[in-house]
Amino acid sequence: MSFFQTDTSSGLKIIIVGCGKVGASLVGQLIREGHDISVIDTDSSKIQEITNLYDVMGVIGNGASFTIQKDAGVDEADLLIAITGSDELNMLCCTVAKRVGNCAAIARVRTPDYSQEVGYLREKLGLALIINPELETAVEAANILSMPSALEVDAFARGQARLVKFKIDENNILDGKAIMDIDHKHTESILICAVQRDGEVVIPSGTFTLRAGDIVSVIGTRKSVRRFMDYIGLRSSTVRNVMIVGGGRAAYYLALQLLNMGMNVKIIERTAARCEELSILLPKAIIIHADGSDEEILKEEDIANTDAFIPLTGIDEQNIMLTLYAKQASKAKIITKITRIGFTDVIAGLDLDSVIYPNKITSEAIIAYVRAMRNSKGFSNIETLYHLFEDKAEALEFTIDESNSATDTPLMDLNLKKNLLVTCIIRNGKIIIPRGHDCIQKGDSVVVITTETDFKDITDILA
């Protein structure tokens, strides 16, 4: 065991076990938000790489070891995040941290067997959070398939409110129309809350004129957003037939959800043993033992007439190539899974339709928890966080725990920061699209979209 140490920074003291893609990305985000980070990994080259890039302490060794955690500073740590490739190791790391130190613990757990026991594991192991990126990937894909014209569908208030992103095509009814001029009966229960144009993100006012090529986000209930999508001529009905390439954990989770939604699911998987497993786990799905990257196989399985096509192989490049082929060979709704978090501008330029990043989902859940933890003495708590438009904006859901300077005052009378919009208030189970006279109240959940970052409390919306 050896370690490399650099100067520390202010904020929470956080230990990250596992320096893979998610670990490295998390280090960068948490450093930018002012936290003191230590990393643990058995691979010395990964530790060296991260300590060369960031001002962090690096410890080489087994993250479940009492001695290694002590060397990483677990005695003074506020939080340990275990995101190695092993579910069991992650849970053991967290258990040791809870016994050795007095810190909160987050584990990444991906195995389906454990996913059915999340509540039990959290309670018995004393974990603050268990994250299953494959399961969350499946949830996000299923949400998109419920509204196939959308590029992204993000859920707030336990699914009551939906933030839906779509692209305005040529000759669409919105092309050339100011937001204030859109027929009021179609906008009173939704809010156009963000627009990306030529790589820049705008929080639009009523005078903002929409154009073809704009990427637009709207928020509302599932029903109201669907009505709005129908009004502007975008298909909002669910798909019936879904083809998935790759039979890994994400494919299993997704197929299970889609079958429960009444869809027909076909999975193409190249490994015979996995096909046998899936045929037992998913008796209502069609399991094809074949190479889904083979063009002839895809034609034979009728890709031309499928409603949705989702490549979920473990190779990003293969998923992208399959998506580009499917765009030529069919009119299917396509969702592409990409593991790498970088190259977002390049990927955006490929026009892949909907793209899902499992590692980004993991990072967002952890960042939301860290901000809420840092704000333990604030007036609100962060329930949900999404990074939008290649991280150029954030959507945050706050639960208002106490009355404060942002509550009980009409929104039009609050001195709100620029490039920010209070998009949705959830009160007693009802979704309110707020206007100037509406107030935030204690007990509400509030969704805010902003181009600023590092919001931790609802009072951060004030200038």
The pLDDT of residue 427 is 94
The pLDDT of residue 261 is 92
The pLDDT of residue 3 is 35
Contact yes or no for 394/449 (Cβ under 8 A):
yes
**Class of domain 3-131 (CATH, top level):** alpha beta
What share of the chain in percent tops pLDDT 70?
96
Report CA-CA distances (Å) from 325 to 103, 312, 353: 48, 15, 13
Total-model pTM: 0.85
pLDDT at 410 over 90: yes
Chain segment 306-324, per-residue pLDDT in tens: 999 999 999 999 999 999 9
The pLDDT of residue 327 is 94
Contact yes or no for 139/358 (Cβ under 8 A):
no
When mean pLDDT is compared over 283-287, 366-370, 389-393, the highest value belongs to 283-287
pLDDT band, residue 236 (cuts 50/70/90): low
The pLDDT of residue 184 is 80
Mean pLDDT of 237-241: 83
State the Cα–Cα distance between residues 183 and 232, nearest whole angstrom: 11
Chain segment 173-198, per-residue pLDDT in tens: 999 999 999 988 878 889 999 999 98
Question: Where do the structural domains in the chain lie, given as residue ranges?
Answer: 3-131, 138-231, 241-356, 375-461
The pLDDT of residue 8 is 39
Return the CATH number of the domain spanning residue range 375-461.
3.30.70.1450
Least confident of 180-184, 250-254, 284-288: 180-184
Domain 241-356 matching CATH 3.30.1120.10: the answer reads: no
pLDDT at 2 over 60: no
Read off the tokens for 46.
Answer: 């990964």
Same fold, 241-356 and 375-461: no
What mean pLDDT value characterizes the chain?
Answer: 90
For the chain, state the CA radius of gyration.
23
Nearest CA to 274 out of 294, 259, 291, 298 is that of 291
Fold exhibited by the domain 138-231:
Alpha-Beta Plaits (3.30.70)
Mean pLDDT of 235-264: 92
Three-class SS state of 96: helix
